[in-house]
């Protein structure tokens, strides 16, 4: 099964970290000029700015604000640590509201050596504690399952099934899933889990990039779509079949691409989006 | 749940690759001297030797030969490639018989860009084709699920569930699973899958090491037990509860440890085995 080809960039969203050398001001100008439809803003890109003004600038550029990235990192060795994490997620919710972002991506967190089940419990508890404020501002919280190679210190939620389990436990219309191909492409249960996620109206976001062979760095060696081995068109077909009509968000962490001219990179992103996504 | 402490090294098995700088002759002398109970021999260590003689030497050292490592790598882009892989696995079976190893560990293989389902089918077909010879020599074939970060080019079998599925399909007493903590520790379904594996009498091998934070290399940055975040005693308790009474095989790929004096390393392996496994 393959998806219908993408013929324009109206559903292309780029994460500010993808073009890391650019400030949010540069990024918005360049993205808008390139015809990119949406932007996901990483919180670091808002430092030192009046957030509501950045939101106004983005809207003036006709860029749809898809998400604020990222909240999460709930698990902690102490109850104070968990409380601090919840407070930071509440801050992220206020920032998203100020920016005009309807959603926050959650990288849920993990503590090396702490039992993953305990971390998963803390994640559910942490999200539950932040939910009332998310309701006040109507901000969606998207749990992003992270690749199992990040289970030590980045996320104890490593599969769609595991994310769905947390969603089931919380059972709230504002809690859903951000499906990122980098983290989930290998999963033998992927098609079924995406189907379930859609059926439960919780497929909130879809992120794309590619898996390089060899991968030389666990964090910053992602490929642009088409450079690697992920069956992107098949996974997009699953996502669309599950009812997803949102943006295809390009989230590439790559020392290799960051070292290149970013205007050229943005041109390559568009090509890769139209031909290999 | 935690396992009963290990009080001696009779069930300690070391893979020759763990002490990579040593030849098989050095390794067998050193292991035997250290009171190591078993050895898993990697095929490269047999190059240029008469294999039956190595087997005799190992038995003379009172080292139990636990496994020959490794077969597998079935998936291929061409039918000739698959046929060649099957032939190599038949060779491995003959080598195991010559050595006196009752089992071969299978790293099943993957082809970048080939659909994982197709690779999984080729893996099952490949094992099925090698099975008659395995029957002739009574050699067990242990499918080792590999961490999802190796799904691109090393193995399309990335979870215990996926390995169990191939075993179910082949349904043969000589086909089972080698459970390596490095690959499976993150799996939310681990306890249940280990239970099922034991129940079906196919938990053939148990490999230990640790996961480092940070991990700086996808292949050769494994930790010694206790250096990382894997809940080793809990997983051993699961394995033993599932009926496993075999060796705890230390398989550490580590540029860091290989650069050290290997006698000191073997002392550390024993300490880590007794205190953190």
ipTM of model: 0.96
Chain A nearest C-alpha distance from B230 (Å): 7
Q: Do A148 and B148 touch (CB under 8 A)?
A: yes
pLDDT, tens digit, for every residue of A78-104? 999 999 999 999 999 999 999 999 999
Arithmetic mean of pLDDT, A26-45: 98
For B112, the closest chain A residue by CA position comes to: A229
Rounded to 5 degrees, what are φ and ψ at B142? -110, 110
- In sequence order, what are the residues at sequence separation of 6 or more whose Cβ sits closer than 8 angstroms to the Cβ of residue A65? A38, A39, A40, A41, A55, A58, A59, A99, A100, A101, A102
Question: What residues of chain B lie within 8 A of the CB of A218, using their CB?
Answer: 149, 214-216, 218
- Site of tokens 């492409």: A185
Residue B249 predicted with pLDDT over 70? yes
Question: How do residues B101-160 score in pLDDT, each as one tens digit?
Answer: 999 999 999 999 999 999 999 999 999 999 999 999 999 999 999 999 999 999 999 999
Average pLDDT for chain A: 97
Q: Is A159 on the interface with B (CB under 8 A)?
A: yes
Q: Is A78 exposed, middle or buried (0-12, 13-18, 19+ CB in 10 A)?
A: exposed
For A216, other C-beta atoms within 10 Å of its C-beta total 11
Assess contact for B13 and B35: CB atoms under 8 A: no
Residue with tokens 């189907």: A195
CA–CA dist A60, A71 (Å, integer): 26
CA angle A129–A134–A138, rounded 5-degree value: 160
Q: Residue B17 pLDDT more than 80?
A: yes
Give the residue among B119, B188, B182, B183 at the shortest CA–CA distance from B152. B119
Cβ–Cβ gap A213/B162 under 8 Å: no
Q: How far is A195 from chain B (nearest CA, A)?
A: 18
The partner residue sitting opposite A213, judged by closest CB among B115, B152, B186, is B152
Question: A106 near A142, Cβ under 8 Å?
Answer: yes
Query: What does chain B come to in residues?
Result: 277
Whether residue A1 has pLDDT greater than 70: no
Domains located in chain B, CATH noted: 12-272 (3.20.20.150)
Nearest-CA distance A226 → chain B (Å): 10
Quote the pLDDT of residue A149: 98
Q: Which of A112, A120, A229 sits opposite B213 (nearest CB)?
A: A112
Q: Compute the average pLDDT of residues B257-275.
A: 98
- The b-or-e profile of B108-146 (16+ CB within 10 A means b, else e) is bbbbeebebeebbbbbbbbbebbbebbeeeebbbbbbbb
Position B1 scores a pLDDT of 65
Q: Is the peptide bond before A224 cis (omega within 30 degrees of 0)?
A: no
> Residue B57 above 80 pLDDT?
yes
Question: Mean pLDDT over residues A92-117, rounded?
Answer: 98
As a whole number of Å, the end-to-end CA separation of chain A is: 14
Q: For B157-208, how does the pLDDT look when each residue is reduced to its tens digit (9 = 90+)?
A: 999 999 999 999 999 999 999 999 999 999 999 999 999 999 999 999 999 9
- Rounded to the nearest angstrom, the minimum Cα separation between A223 and chain B is 13
Residues of A with Cβ-Cβ distance to B188 under 8 angstroms: 116-117, 120, 158-159, 161-162, 165
As a whole number, the mean pLDDT across chain B is: 97
Residue B227 φ/ψ, nearest 5 degrees: -80, -15
Q: Which member of A185, A187, A218 has the closest CB to residue B218? A: A218
Q: Are A273 and A40 in contact (CB under 8 A)?
A: no
A-B contacts at Cβ under 8 angstroms: 75
Q: Which of A147, A186, A215 sits opposite B116 (nearest CB)?
A: A186
The confidence score (pLDDT) of residue B3 equals 87
Tokens of B245: 């009474």
Would the pLDDT of B16 be above 90?
yes
pLDDT of residue A164: 98
For a pLDDT cut of 90, what percent of chain A falls above it?
Answer: 99
Question: Which of B158, B159, B231 lies closest to A115 in CB terms?
Answer: B231
pLDDT at B241: 98
pLDDT band at B86 (very low <50, low <70, confident <90, very high): very high
3-state SS class at B82 = helix
Average pLDDT over residues A223-248: 98
User: Does B231 contact chain A (CB < 8 Å)?
Assistant: yes
Angle at A185 between CA B130 and CA A2, to 5 degrees: 95
Asked if the C-beta of A155 comes within 8 angstroms of chain B's C-beta atoms, the answer is no
Distance CA A89, CA A70 (A): 9
pLDDT at A2 over 80: no
Neighbouring C-beta atoms of residue B78, cutoff 10 Å: 8
pLDDT of B38 > 70? The answer is yes
């Amino acid at each position: 099964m393959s998806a219908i080809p993408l013929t324009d960039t109206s559903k292309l969203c780029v994460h500010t970290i993808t073009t890391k050398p650019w400030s949010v001001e540069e990024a918005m100008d360049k993205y808008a000029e390139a015809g990119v439809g949406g932007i996901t803003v990483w919180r670091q890109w808002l430092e030192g700015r009046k957030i509501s003004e950045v939101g106004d600038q983005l809207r003036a550029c006709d860029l749809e604000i898809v998400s604020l990235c990222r909240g999460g990192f709930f698990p902690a060795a102490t109850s104070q640590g968990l409380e601090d994490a919840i407070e930071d997620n509440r801050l992220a919710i206020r920032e998203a509201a100020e920016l005009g972002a309807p959603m926050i991506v959650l990288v849920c967190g993990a503590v090396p050596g702490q039992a993953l089940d305990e971390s998963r419990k803390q994640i559910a508890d942490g999200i539950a504690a932040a939910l009332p404020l998310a309701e006040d501002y109507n901000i969606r919280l998207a749990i992003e399952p992270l690749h199992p190679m990040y289970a030590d210190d980045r996320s104890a939620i490593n599969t769609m099934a595991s994310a769905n389990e947390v969603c089931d436990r919380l059972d709230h219309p504002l809690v859903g899933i951000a499906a990122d191909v980098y983290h989930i492409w290998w999963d033998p249960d992927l098609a079924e889990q995406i189907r379930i996620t859609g059926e439960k109206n919780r497929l909130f976001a879809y992120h794309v990039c590619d898996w390089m062979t060899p991968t030389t760095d666990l964090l910053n060696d992602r490929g642009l779509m088409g450079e690697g081995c992920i069956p992107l068109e098949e996974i997009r077909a699953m996502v669309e079949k599950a009812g997803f009509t949102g943006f295809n968000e390009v989230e590439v962490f790559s020392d290799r691409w960051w070292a290149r001219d970013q205007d050229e990179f943005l041109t390559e992103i568009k090509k890769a989006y139209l031909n290999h996504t």
